[in-house]
């Protein structure tokens, strides 16, 4: 099946919204597990991240790569589709790195006894974005 570049751009938009929903779910779970702040809760959050959120973002990344290869250079909208794919891929890499680093950072902080300080810093910083 041949996709037009406009159709590919639309599909990439759908994947971006799916990525944002996954990231939002990750943030909600993080907040729920931080409320109790126990090491067991943080370890279960890390496992949940490994088994749920990371595979979902990896699947989205593979789908972006597949769509990127379908961009046709002889059709209008090639630049828009390629730029959209590049930006989405960049955002996915950033979010995948966060999915690994945040749970590990929280577990280390809990073991070191500095979890309360991390909570204060997170509250001051607010949510992070790849454009910061």
Tell me the domains of the chain and their CATH numbers: 5-124 (1.20.58)
Average pLDDT, integer, range 122-129? 54
Q: How many CB atoms lie within 10 A of CB 36?
A: 10
Tokens of 63: 């789908």
**pLDDT digit string (tens) for 69-119?**
888 776 677 788 888 999 999 999 999 999 999 999 888 888 887 766 666
For 33-66, give the DSSP string. Answer: HHHH--HHHHHHHHHHIIIIIHHHHHHHHHHHHH
Q: How high is the pLDDT of residue 81?
A: 83
The residue ranking higher by pLDDT, 56 or 108, is 56
Average pLDDT, the chain: 84
**Percent of residues, the chain, with pLDDT higher than 70:** 83
What tokens does 9 get? 């751009």
Q: First and final CA of the chain: distance in angstroms?
A: 39
């Amino acid at each position: 099946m041949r996709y037009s570049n406009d159709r590919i751009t639309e599909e990439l938009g759908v994947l971006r919204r799916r990525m944002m929903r996954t990231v939002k779910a990750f943030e909600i779970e993080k907040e729920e597990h931080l409320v109790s702040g126990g090491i067991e809760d943080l370890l279960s959050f890390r496992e949940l991240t490994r088994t749920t959120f990371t595979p979902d973002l990896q699947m989205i990344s593979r789908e972006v790569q597949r769509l990127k290869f379908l961009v046709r250079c002889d059709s209008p909208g090639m630049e828009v589709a390629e730029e959209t794919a590049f930006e989405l891929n960049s955002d996915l890499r950033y979010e995948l790195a966060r999915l690994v680093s945040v749970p590990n950072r929280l577990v280390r902080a809990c073991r070191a006894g500095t979890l309360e300080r991390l909570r204060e810093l997170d509250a001051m910083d607010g949510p992070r974005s790849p454009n910061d």
